[in-house]
Every structure is written in C-alpha cells, then in structure tokens.
Amino acid sequence: MSSSTPTIGVLALQGDVREHLAALAGAGAQAQPVRRAEELAEIDGLVIPGGESTTMSKLAVIFGLLEPLRERIRGGMPAYGSCAGMIMLADKILDGRADQETIGGIDMIVRRNAFGRQNESFEAAVEVTGVDGGPVEGVFIRAPWVESTGSEVETLARLDDGTVVAVRQGGLLATSFHPELTGDHRVHRLFTDMVRAAKELGRA
C-alpha cells in the first residue's frame, strides 16, 4: 500500500465527531470536520459518525448537505458509517421516523435501535474480515443491526448469534458498533486504506 496520506472528513453535524477525528489521525489519515457542502470537494473520503440518526438526517437537510452527500457517494467517494452512520448509509431503514431520510448507497435494510435502549448497551469481541490482529472490541450503544443485504454487499462481521454488524459494498463500509470509542484504530485503518486505494485509482 502506498504511503500517500488521504484527506478524510467527518460529518460534523451531530455525534461523536472528535473521537472519529482522533481515530483517523491515529490510522494515518489527514482528518477534518465537514459541515458545509463546499467542504466535500476537499476530501477523499467521509466518516459518518454515531449519534442520533433522525437528528442527523434533519440537520443534513437544513444545512443543504443531503443531496451533495448523495452525489459524492454516487460518484464513488468512499464513506464509512458507524452506528447512526450505518443507518445513514442504508438504502432502507426499519423503525425510523416517517420523514427520516438517508444518504443511502449500501443495498441493505437496517433496523434502527435494534439492540434496545441506552441502558441495554453492551460490548462484544467482533471478528471483522479485513482487520488483522484478532477481534475488535465492539461498543454497541442503541445500535442498529442489518436485517438483509443485496447480492453486492459483503458481510464483514456477525455476532455469535449470527446478527450482521458490519458490511461493505465497494467503497462503502458500515458497522453497528463504535470502534472510535476504544482506542483501537484498526477499523479506521481499514477505511483509510480503502480511501487511499480509491484515491490512487482516481475514484475518490
């Protein structure tokens, strides 16, 4: 893999932005917050953080970001969504608000708050395809899960009961859990490598 440093934005409307910026820096990326549509032109890839997906959706509309985000992702920009970010990258969601919109891009159906309320949050060791060095510690906080996927979506991780908690479709990556909260940068390194590869191919 080339040593080139990709510039990766973190959608900074709501959620755990600071933690993702730190994890991306630890994974070898140049990280910067993104709040305005014009800032999308400055980045090679984007992280959509955890937080509250309905609030994030509303703010993306208010800030005029939803359509520009869709355009960049349709154009091949890599993106990674954790927790609420997974919901934002799903083509379809269950248990969302009637007016809730997503960016889309991953051919999957995701169930919002599938694991229960905040007080039912938990941690689990998760083996993730493409991440070397053993399982990552998955932090699940009001997390979604993947109900079903299309034929082009690769399942990267399941819990012991078979629940799908990480997927990839081309340059798009999504996890139900929050790797940015653990100090383990391997998932962010996987995404940074995906962005670097897309940049070198002229797709980012």
Extents of the domains making up the chain: 7-200
Asked whether 16 and 179 are in contact (CB, 8 A), the reply is: no
Kind of pairing, strands 136-140 and 122-126?
A: antiparallel
Is residue 106 within 8 A of residue 91, CB to CB? The reply is: yes
Instruction: Kindly report, residue by residue over 82-111, the tens digit of the pLDDT.
Output: 999 999 999 999 987 777 889 999 999 999
Over residues 30-55, the mean pLDDT reads 94
pLDDT at 51: 86
* Helix, strand, or coil (residue 58): helix
* Confidence (pTM): 0.93
**CA separation, residue 65 to residues 55, 79, 169, 182 (Å):** 13, 15, 22, 29
In the prediction, which pLDDT does 109 show?
96
pLDDT digits (tens, 9 = 90+) for 131-185: 999 999 999 998 999 999 999 999 999 999 999 999 999 999 999 999 999 999 9
Q: What is the pLDDT of residues 109-138, one digit of tens each?
A: 999 888 776 656 899 999 999 999 999 999
On the question of pLDDT at 61 being above 80, the answer is yes
Evaluate if residue 1 carries a pLDDT over 50. Answer: no
Average model confidence (pLDDT) for the chain?
92
**Token representation of residue 97:** 């608000």
- Residue 79 CA to residue 100 CA, distance in Å, equals 20
Q: Which pLDDT belongs to residue 203?
A: 59
Catalytically active residues, by annotation: 83, 178, 180
CB-count exposure of residue 123 (10 Å: 0-12, 13-18, 19+): middle
66: left (phi over 0), alpha (psi -120 to 50) or beta: alpha
Looking at residue 118, what is its pLDDT? 63
7-200 CATH fold: Rossmann fold (3.40.50)
